[in-house]
Amino acid sequence: MKVSARNRLKGTVKQLVPGSVNTEVIVEVAPGVEVVSVITKSSAESLALAVGSEVYTVVKSSDVMIAID
């Protein structure tokens, strides 16, 4: 499946924090650079995510803000 969301970064799952409804997924996308995702626990299970899994973080462009110092 090819998705319209244009921002994809390849990485490795470093940590999984499961809650009752959601799971926090911490992905290392470059040495020392982490992206944090919150998805449903069911999705995390359906993707069989585990520490070490090779994944992509995916973000829709309209959800990306810009900041300056």
Footprint on this chain of a second copy (rule: CB under 8 A): 1-9, 17-25, 27, 30, 33, 35-40, 42-44, 46-47, 49, 53-69
Return the number of the residue (7 or 51) whose C-beta is nearest a second copy: 7
CB of 51 to a second copy, least distance (A): 13
8 A C-beta contact, residue 11 and residue 59: no
CB of 46 to a second copy, least distance (A): 8
Q: Which of 8, 30, 39 is nearest to 16 (CA)?
A: 39
8 A C-beta contact, residue 45 and residue 36: no
Q: Which helix (H) or strand (E) holds 9?
A: strand 7-18
CB of 41 to a second copy, least distance (A): 8
